Amino acid sequence: MSEKTTPEINEIKVKKKKKKLLGFPKIIWNQLSILNESAYFKENYGEDHFNLLLIATDDRRAAIVRVKDGTVAVEQVKNKPEFIDPVKRQIKPRLTTDIETFFGFAMGKVHPVKAILTGKLKIRKVKTVLRFTKFLGVAAHETKNRNAVEKKEA
């Protein structure tokens, strides 16, 4: 009779399945992921620490952007009251709008005051949201630089 040994509980490594980002959170991650490789971002924004909730009114998912120690992470949460309300209580800075207005705002094509007055854009903790829009500008600049380098090498 062969003796079977069972590994101790401490030795078993449980892999946590990482949820794949979809919809609006994936778009946000695609825009911001380059910041994690940017020396400029780490140098100039490395001391920023905040969480920001981005709610797209026309998507089934909202994005939670976490900024800490010069890195950016994006998580998703279902855009239904039972899921989003607890997050709203924990994360005060937030931006609520549709995807088109969000990117217009981020690129400077939508005037924020007009969008707020017409109800297209809702912002809570304006200072944090404005800081976040600077990150989008840095990400766009880094992407442009990367594309220029890749074009030279080709």
- DSSP secondary structure string for all residues of the chain: -PPPP---GGGPPPPPPPPPP-HHHHHHHHHHGGGGG-HHHHHHHTT--EEEEEEETTSSEEEEEEEETTEEEEEEEESSHHHHHHHHHH---EEEE-HHHHHHHHTT-S-HHHHHHTTSEEEESHHHHHHHHHHHHHHHHHHHHHHHHHHHH-
The answer, yes or no, to whether residue 148 has pLDDT greater than 80, is no
Q: How confident is the model at residue 154 (pLDDT cuts 50, 70, 90)?
A: low
Could you tell me what percent of the chain has a pLDDT over 90?
A: 58
Could you tell me what percent of the chain has a pLDDT over 70?
A: 88
Q: How far is CA 5 from each of CA 9, 43, 77, 113, rounded to the nearest angstrom?
A: 12, 51, 41, 67
Task: State CA 7 to chain mean position distance.
Answer: 39
pLDDT at 75: 95
